[in-house]
Structure 1
């Protein structure tokens, strides 16, 4: 499907406005927040993103991937800048009960249905904009959620060393990812490329990783080689990934 570019804001808006979608009973919104996005999960529950009520759709769109801080807002009554509240994600039942809620640590986030087939329940991409004011090693980070199974806990992936870590993909100046169509009709795989300088000699090493869903478990395989890659370059050839 090519390089993944998430636009969860517009997806949520289309769900709300184009599908006659409405929450039967709305859960109370914390002070200082507004509901920035709502996406149906499939079991009657709704996955929501809450953001600082000062973050308008226009400010969200213009600030995404560029960072957002207190200077992004108009001065408060005492003319002192007030830092934006951290975004929150929550899972709300059809009767308005908050089933799960978590702070995301950064002001902006989006959520969308993940185009992944063959999983035991629907998966969603929760993307948190972790972009720093400077540098090329930060940017949006995408978690994979399966709310019907684990609510708001990220899906775990079995690493090559045997440990299980959250399934998260980075989009920075030196890292990106894409979904790869399945050849035999199973679950799509995901490729991630990233480049960083080594500690020893400061030469760049590029890492190629492939995530696959096999026998009910996401697994990761990786390989490294000397060389530099950044998002100004084309996505690497498939043969470079394990």
Structure 2
């Protein structure tokens, strides 16, 4: 019996190798007796917080599994902090599936040490927040109070990724995810953001359709697909 992380490192899975009898036949089509094959079956799975307890898992081994899980969770937290300090927010911890992947000290089935980033922002801002140091980056144009273009983009993408991660982890859809009135409220807030991009605020006219050789709506769809792929695999 052994333990490993799930693909997104948000659960642990307990597995066991077993020997099963299989049907086999000789060249004449007569059944062969005693033919078996080894296979792996799942005993149980647990999230990163619930106690590891199952009738087939001995107590001593359950304690070892919880200690192993705690180590993995600590490594994941450390990796998120280090990624944030480098200006990479959000993302998904990656399972180690081959020996050459990520942290060489990690074993296959453990956290690989890699956070697949979703959003990249200015590293100096994040590092200063983590260390408690105030940072005053210079922006050659525009305001500096968190409404520069990169900060706005990062915030919007982070909201999108939070929604996708929540839906993927829970599997909720329809009214179980958001009621119609909640969706209307969210859409209204989204429209308010869109209004802030209008001509009376930015002086650039409506940023719709093809502008400056680009189509922001199509680019947004592509960004959404990349976000969803990074979360759902």
Determine which structure has the larger helix proportion and give its number: 2
From the CA coordinates, give the structure whose radius of gyration is larger: 2
User: TM class by shorter-chain length?
Assistant: under 0.3
What TM-score, normalized to structure 2?
A: 0.21
What TM-score, normalized to structure 1?
A: 0.21
